[in-house]
Amino acid sequence: MSDERDAQRNRVLDVAVALFANRGFDDVSMAEIAEAANVARATVFNYFGSKHALIEAITETILHFYRDMLDEALADDLTPTPTLVRDLFEGMALGIESQRGLFRSVFREIARIQLGFDEGGVAQRANEETTTRLELLFDRGKRRGELTDAFDAATLASAMKSLSNGTITHWLYDDPTGPLSTRMRDAADIFLSPVACTPARNPRSKRGAK
């Protein structure tokens, strides 16, 4: 794909993100996305064959952002693993809180991908990349003696994903009262209480409960 086509595709993606965030996935048409991006409707379908393909591309971008957070955690050889885990929970919360409208549109798709309902797609591969990195983080923590040996890395990764996704889903769709960051800090406490072998910085001691 040429640089010009890359730029055009990214513009369509950026416009779709903004429209979905403001109005929701169901209330935005491909024609409206094309008009806002100043391209032909056929061009949008050329890059993304359907609205589902478009939302999958957005989901892939979000999962890549989470992958980058995990890469930063893996590159940090000094911070204890429990603290890195707390930072991951909080980082997810901050990103989602800032774009609640968008995530209400796409989080069900993320959940579908993580549950394996969209096997073989680009976003599914991105999800597998994040899972692999999460397992590497937990393996390292276990080798350091910072995490319990009672659970293997795959079990820990699955448990963390389930707890974080459930907390986010409840906040997005059922009960948006209060900041997500507070709930995610509580979720980190619940996850780490039977898992961590070394003290982890509790963000409340530094920032105070919100």
Q: Quick check: 204 pLDDT over 50?
A: no
DSSP 68: H
Based on the fold, state whether residues 158 and 172 are members of the same structural domain.
yes
Q: Does the pTM of the predicted model rise above 0.85? A: no
Give tens-digit pLDDT for 103-150.
887 777 777 766 665 555 666 777 788 999 999 999 999 999 999 999
Which is nearest to 101 in space by CA: 60, 66, 58? 58
| pLDDT value of position 198 | 64
Based on the fold, state whether residues 75 and 153 are members of the same structural domain.
yes
Give tens-digit pLDDT for 17-68.
888 888 877 888 999 999 999 999 999 999 999 888 888 888 888 888 899 9
Spatial contact of 25 and 106, defined as CB atoms under 8 Å apart:
yes
111 within some domain: yes
Domain harbouring 178, CATH code: 1.10.357.10
Element (H, E) at 79: none
Q: Decide: helix, strand or coil at residue 77.
A: coil
Q: Quick check: 194 pLDDT over 50?
A: yes
DSSP 208: -
Based on the fold, state whether residues 39 and 123 are members of the same structural domain.
no
pLDDT above 70 covers a percentage of the chain that reads 86
Confidence of residue 171 (pLDDT cuts 50, 70, 90): very high
Highest mean pLDDT among 44-48, 81-85, 112-116, 161-165: 81-85
Based on the fold, state whether residues 160 and 65 are members of the same structural domain.
yes
Domain harbouring 10, CATH code: 1.10.10.60
Spatial contact of 134 and 70, defined as CB atoms under 8 Å apart:
yes
171 within some domain: yes
Q: Give the residue-averaged pLDDT of 155-167.
A: 94
Based on the fold, state whether residues 38 and 65 are members of the same structural domain.
no
Highest mean pLDDT among 14-18, 56-60, 70-74: 70-74
Of 10, 30, 49, the one marking the end of a domain is 49
| Residue entry with tokens 């999800």 | 127
Based on the fold, state whether residues 125 and 147 are members of the same structural domain.
yes
173 within some domain: yes
In sequence order, the 6+-apart residues with CB closer than 8 A to the CB of 144 are 80, 81
Confidence of residue 13 (pLDDT cuts 50, 70, 90): very high
Based on the fold, state whether residues 70 and 105 are members of the same structural domain.
yes
206 within some domain: no
* Domains held by the chain: number: 2
39 within some domain: yes
210 within some domain: no
Q: Which comes out higher in pLDDT, residue 171 or 119? A: 171
Domain extent for 16: 1-49
205 within some domain: no
Q: Which comes out higher in pLDDT, residue 22 or 189? A: 189
Q: Quick check: 206 pLDDT over 50?
A: no
Based on the fold, state whether residues 136 and 75 are members of the same structural domain.
yes
The whole-angstrom separation of Cα 54 and Cα 60 is 10
DSSP 174: I
Q: Give the residue-averaged pLDDT of 160-172.
A: 92
**Greatest distance between any 2 Cα atoms in the chain:** 57
